[in-house]
Amino acid sequence: MSDVMMARPVCLTIGGSDSCGGAGIQADLRVFDRLGVYGCSAITALTAQNPLHIARVEPVSLAQLDAELHALFDYYDVAVVKTGMLLDAEHVAVVSGLLAELHHGSLVVDPVMISSSGSVLLDQGGVAALRGALLPQAALITPNLDEADALLGQRSGYAADSPVEAVKALREALGCPVLLKGGHADGDMLLDLLCDEEEGIHRFTHIRQYWSAGEGHGTGCRLASAVAAGLANQMPLVPAVEAAIAFLQEGTA
């Protein structure tokens, strides 16, 4: 490993490949580089997409995913893992099992379930596997409002109507800190809520950025990977979340 790589903490992103580069593995690696960490990746699925539409999803074989993860952990001292699109229960099982065996650092889970264009990216079996096997290992999960409803088994719109109650319920049910992203709410001012065990609820308000069609694609991926980079750079959780939100507000990620 080169001196440059050794000088940087290592973050591993596990998720789908976004052919247009706005989300997924490509976006995560770009954020890692900008925030001073060395990024590596394990791919769960290939997608054919642009910012407005996912045309096709091709799962990576479980044997290939297993080999990717073993190869990376055999070589790198991974500080933080960030997961994104995991597709189904079988892929979640491979990831959760190998992380429990091989990873000794922090885990940030972005529970990607539905794309911004409406495509399903995690089936119902995958949601159950996520709750049962992966989320108990997490240092942070970063659901949006719709994902929070799914994880809680609540009606659509519950988290948007009652975000404080929703983030508390997620924290209690899942046993790990939760960053509830408010981007799917209405209005010009957005509220993100971080609920952690030690300090309670932290509120982060910011102005909504109005994107042209497709330009908001992947903001959730980039936020979670920015938090992961902050944790890899030895930032405590609350400052890492605050810095990640500010980074996204710059609009250059």
pLDDT digits (tens, 9 = 90+) for 136-169: 999 999 999 999 999 999 988 898 889 999 999 9
How far is Cα 54 from Cα 73, in angstroms, rounded to an integer?
31
For residue 18, the one-letter residue type is D
pLDDT digits (tens, 9 = 90+) for 187-215: 567 889 999 876 689 999 877 665 444 45
Coil, strand, or helix at residue 212? coil
**pLDDT band, very low/low/confident/very high, at 238 (cuts 50, 70, 90):** very high
Outline where the chain has alpha helix (H): 3-7, 24-34, 62-75, 89-102, 124-129, 145-152, 158-161, 163-174, 219-232, 237-249
Rg (CA), the chain: 17
What is the CA angle 178-176-78, rounded to 5? Answer: 95
pTM for the full predicted model: 0.92
